Structure 1
Amino acid sequence: MLETNEILNHEKRIGNVPGINIGHRFYSRAEMVAVGFHSHWLNGIDYMGLSYSKMYSNYSFPLAVAIVLSGMYEDDLDNAEDVIYTGQGGQNLTGNKRQIRDQKMERGNLALKNCIEQGVPVRVVRGHESATSYCGKLYTYDGLYKVIQYWAEKGISGFTVFKFRLRRIEGQSLLTTNQVQFIYGRVPKSVSEIRGLVCEDIAGGQEDIPIPATNLVDDPPVAPIGFTYCKFIKVARGVKLPPNANGCDCKESCITSRTCSCAKLNGSDFPYVQRDGGRLIEAKDVVYECGPNCGCGVGCVNRTSQRGIKYRLEVFRTPKKGWAVRSWDFIPSGAPVCEYTGILARTEDLDHVSENNYIFDIDCLQTIRGIGGRERRSRDASLPANNSLDVVDDRRSESVPEFCIDACSTGNIARFINHSCEPNLFVQCVLSSHHDIKLARVVLFAAENIPPLQELTYDYGYALDSVYGPDGKIKQMPCFCGATECRKRLF
């Protein structure tokens, strides 16, 4: 097709290509070449050379027109609206794709540098692994970005690389793809390797693993402020926790579900398997874990969610969604990620509080009943007598959760996890010390296998037009999750 001049849009062009809108999907690099959208089979940077100087006499060449982000470079960083892109050259293309020599300011690198000085926008395409594509990858056009900065630095492998910072131009359609999943990306091995570090540990040593915060968006960069980190739930004045429940008679560890009373509460079986440190088999109405009065020890599989954070997590800044969370480690499906902590309070006591986006309703009862559009789960677990669903205090407690967790001023890393219409985490109510479902612990579990560096998200569960402001009018908030089936609004 190249030799016979059968390529559509044979001449390269600056900006958008007619007929290819944001969200357009290509099922191979070959398709992009065939329509003249990105003219290289392998190179990540497509640029105009000196031959275009006659056509565009007011520009200096070379000039970049498009880039592909597909995780090939270990030093890339993709925050959706804001990208740190590694220049070309110096890679071991026949081996492990690592950097093996210094990069030079030439060809595509020089073309991106010239885009900064001349204000030329660049088309950005993201590549994802895809089982539905005949080449194993799917490429999505995500709009025009402006190259705003470049610099040279020592990369992860110790060689000089050029870094280019690109920011998405305002006023375009919302992103339609999730963040690219880097195949060859490597997480930092030390604090000195973390780019944009603004806080070494937001937990202040409370967690077993430090939680760094990074900011490559704000100028100057700022750290998360306005809250006190707290690993455990705090109880508000006027809220009384139930007494500790009777525990099982197991010794050291719960092994046999036939004799363990806690297992019987879970439908006569344990909700977890031992693999990978404990994984939840399936989402349930409520999970009953062993508690303070149980005979087993801390290593019991039925205490899986009580062991705290065990993955290396990072809080990072995004252009439109504020702070977000990602993991440096692979997280297997069913693994607990973190508990949602804060101040346990009565919902009615916070009804008058406005602009608090960190209130998590404990809606275990509402989920069991499928109230308010909530997805009903399995109903095979038995409920203790004092938890009978036939007994409801009043009509309000049936439709509105009586208790909530307020993480506005006090909370842990869970307060930074964003909403997504297609999340990779799910919410699970857990009972351990007592058996009152209205006061259940709220734990976030992995809904699928999550690769390193992918943003962690869960569905906030708002029904559209369900949130009202102090003036009694319906409040609306746009959603920037970027999911293919995004509902466009958070509430």
Structure 2
Amino acid sequence: MAENLKGCSVPCKLSWDDLEDACRRYRVTCQDLNVNRNNLDDYEVQFLCDYKKDKFTDEELYLVKWRGYPESDNSWEPKRNLKCAKLIKEFHSDLEQELRRQKKRVIPKRLNKDISLVLTQKAKHRLSLQRWEDHLNKNRNHPGRILVLNEVDFEGPPKDFNYINNCKVGQGIVLTEMALGCECKNCLEEPMNGCCPGASLHRMAYNDRGQVRIRPGQPIYECNAGCCCGPDCPNRIVQKGIQFDLCIFKTGNGRGWGVRSLQHIKKNVFVMEYVGEIITTDEAEKRGHQYDRQGSTYLFDLDYVEDVYTVDAAHQGNISHFVNHSCNPNLQVFNVFIDNIDERIPRIGLFSTRAIRAGEELTFDYKMQIDPVDTESTRMDTSFILAGIPSSPKKRVRVECRCGSDTCRKYLF
């Protein structure tokens, strides 16, 4: 019975605050909640809920929500007793923003209930996003950090999304075609028998700066676990994971969450891999109709040589789950093969098409088209034309495009 329940989980009905409160009440330590023996009895400011000035002394007072204690224990504290300059600054920034929204110029000596309610809601929302950000960074296995930002509304973390670093194989799918390793001492300068790309009758995909140098539509064969070369081999790029700090942010034009780079990215470099659950196209067809009704889809057809498998990142994926479409994108899809060389199941690498500024949103074309290239790879290119299109049965709901580019096609599909 226990074996059948392995891997099963159910959502907790208590909030993080309630769990932390329970830990302190029953004196239980929890590493994930940051409750330990040293701080069990501490009173730490979690956020500020309200503000007023004493009518006699004009002293500033704040209503404090204490970490790990219920809101019934909130208390008014003078500013001089508080050692939380960052929280005070955030509180006044939120307060000024709300007063501007209500077209009020002066901070009143006592806030009305509507304003204090909004400030409490903002503080709780910020805390929720910070916990999500911490969770994402705890679960990532790549160097690039993840930040989360929402300055648009009060939408919080997705409730049914699990961050994973590598694709998970769905039920009934078995990876069997494992790559043979190369024996090169220097894969880029002295490739023996063409190294791993040569063994598959293709050229090396990267230059000495780690930039992709082949045209879209041609495959990338990286060195693998069976190779004699080490982890610093220049033919190991995608497998090293995301190298840049990225930010998941809420867009202001109805496109939901998006991703922007926090660092400058050069042209033709690897940015991220599209990760999710590998499923059959029959299963993708079923899920596609459900996603259509929800108004979104995260199905990515693996049409490199055969239309057999699809990557579904709806509920399991990495940061690529949040990357939006653009008709003029700055990311380009490449099919990548590393340990598994089954051409029906490539890994999906997203590379920069041009230099990307820090702060610029990352996008790729959900319906990309690949220009024909040399005859050496005609078979691959003709089957690759649809490789970047999320699964698209004949009858699909037309989704309006809001990318805003000059070449916008108006619709995603």
TM score, norm. by length of structure 1: 0.50
Mapped partners of 2:261, 2:269: distance in 1: 13
Q: Deviations over 1:151-207 (max 9, x none)?
A: 99xxxxxxxxxxxxxxxxxxxxxxxxxxxxxxxxxxxxxxxx99x867334243423
Asked if structure 1 preserves the Cα contact closer than 8 Å seen for 2:139 and 2:164, the reply is no
Q: Output the amino acid matched with 2:151.
A: L
Mapped partners of 1:433, 1:113: distance in 2: 54
Mapped partners of 1:298, 1:280: distance in 2: 18
Asked if structure 2 preserves the Cα contact closer than 8 Å seen for 1:327 and 1:453, the reply is yes
1:314 to 247, 258, 274: 247
Q: Deviations over 1:325-367 (max 9, x none)?
A: 01110011111111111111111122112233111111223xx
Query: 1:150, CA displacement in angstroms?
Result: 9.5
Asked if structure 2 preserves the Cα contact closer than 8 Å seen for 1:213 and 1:223, the reply is no
Structure 2 partner of 1:479: 401
Tell me: CA distance 1:265–1:475, structure 2 relative to 1, closer, same or farther (3 Å): same
1:279 to 197, 204, 211: 211
Q: Output the amino acid matched with 2:363.
A: T
Structure 2 partner of 1:352: 286
Are 2:151 and 1:216 equivalent residues in the alignment?
A: yes
Query: 1:267, CA displacement in angstroms?
Result: 6.0
Tell me: CA distance 1:474–1:350, structure 2 relative to 1, closer, same or farther (3 Å): closer
Within 5 Å, give how 1:47-446 maps onto structure 2: 199-201=132-134, 202-207=136-141, 208-218=143-153, 220-251=154-185, 253-257=187-191, 259-265=193-199, 269-275=203-209, 278-282=210-214, 283-319=216-252, 320-353=254-287, 354-356=289-291, 357-365=297-305, 397=306, 401-446=307-352
Mapped partners of 2:270, 2:105: distance in 1: 39
Are 2:395 and 1:489 equivalent residues in the alignment?
A: no
Tell me: CA distance 1:407–1:452, structure 2 relative to 1, closer, same or farther (3 Å): same
Q: Output the amino acid matched with 2:302.
A: I
Q: Structure 1: which 5+ residue stretches go unaligned?
A: 1-111, 119-148, 153-192, 366-396
Tell me: CA distance 1:410–1:248, structure 2 relative to 1, closer, same or farther (3 Å): same
Query: 1:476, CA displacement in angstroms?
Result: 0.7
Q: Which moved more, 1:286-295 or 1:206-215?
A: 206-215
Mapped partners of 2:239, 2:158: distance in 1: 26
Asked if structure 2 preserves the Cα contact closer than 8 Å seen for 1:113 and 1:150, the reply is no
Query: 1:434, CA displacement in angstroms?
Result: 2.7
Mapped partners of 1:258, 1:413: distance in 2: 36
Tell me: CA distance 1:487–1:415, structure 2 relative to 1, closer, same or farther (3 Å): same
Query: How many residues end up aligned between the 2 structures?
Result: 270
SS of the counterpart of 1:261? helix
Q: Output the amino acid matched with 2:285.
A: D
Q: Identity of paired residues, percent?
A: 32
Tell me: CA distance 1:215–1:355, structure 2 relative to 1, closer, same or farther (3 Å): farther
Asked if structure 1 preserves the Cα contact closer than 8 Å seen for 2:177 and 2:341, the reply is no
Mapped partners of 2:313, 2:392: distance in 1: 18
Decide which structure has greater helix share: 2
Q: Deviations over 1:276-315 (max 9, x none)?
A: xx11113342111111221111111111111011100010
Query: 1:245, CA displacement in angstroms?
Result: 1.7
Mapped partners of 1:340, 1:447: distance in 2: 16
Q: Deviations over 1:434-460 (max 9, x none)?
A: 322211110100010001000000001
Asked if structure 2 preserves the Cα contact closer than 8 Å seen for 1:250 and 1:260, the reply is no
Asked if structure 2 preserves the Cα contact closer than 8 Å seen for 1:285 and 1:364, the reply is no
Asked if structure 1 preserves the Cα contact closer than 8 Å seen for 2:302 and 2:345, the reply is yes
Asked if structure 2 preserves the Cα contact closer than 8 Å seen for 1:257 and 1:268, the reply is no
Mapped partners of 1:212, 1:331: distance in 2: 17
Mapped partners of 1:296, 1:257: distance in 2: 11
Query: 1:210, CA displacement in angstroms?
Result: 2.8
Asked if structure 2 preserves the Cα contact closer than 8 Å seen for 1:213 and 1:315, the reply is yes
Q: Output the amino acid matched with 1:210.
A: R
SS of the counterpart of 1:480? coil
Asked if structure 2 preserves the Cα contact closer than 8 Å seen for 1:430 and 1:442, the reply is yes
CA RMSD of aligned residues (A): 3.3
Query: 1:270, CA displacement in angstroms?
Result: 2.1
Query: 1:230, CA displacement in angstroms?
Result: 0.3
Q: Output the amino acid matched with 1:287.
A: I
Q: Deviations over 1:9-68 (max 9, x none)?
A: xxxxxxxxxxxxxxxxxxxxxxxxxxxxxxxxxxxxxxxxxxxxxxxxxxxxxxxxxxxx
Mapped partners of 1:249, 1:344: distance in 2: 31
Query: 1:248, CA displacement in angstroms?
Result: 1.2
Asked if structure 2 preserves the Cα contact closer than 8 Å seen for 1:426 and 1:447, the reply is yes
Mapped partners of 1:225, 1:249: distance in 2: 47
Mapped partners of 2:339, 2:212: distance in 1: 19
Query: 1:228, CA displacement in angstroms?
Result: 0.5
Q: Output the amino acid matched with 1:292.
A: A
SS of the counterpart of 2:320? helix
Tell me: CA distance 1:265–1:333, structure 2 relative to 1, closer, same or farther (3 Å): farther
Asked if structure 1 preserves the Cα contact closer than 8 Å seen for 2:331 and 2:350, the reply is yes
Mapped partners of 1:348, 1:316: distance in 2: 33
Tell me: CA distance 1:364–1:203, structure 2 relative to 1, closer, same or farther (3 Å): farther
Tell me: CA distance 1:117–1:236, structure 2 relative to 1, closer, same or farther (3 Å): closer
Asked if structure 1 preserves the Cα contact closer than 8 Å seen for 2:325 and 2:403, the reply is yes
Mapped partners of 2:194, 2:106: distance in 1: 61
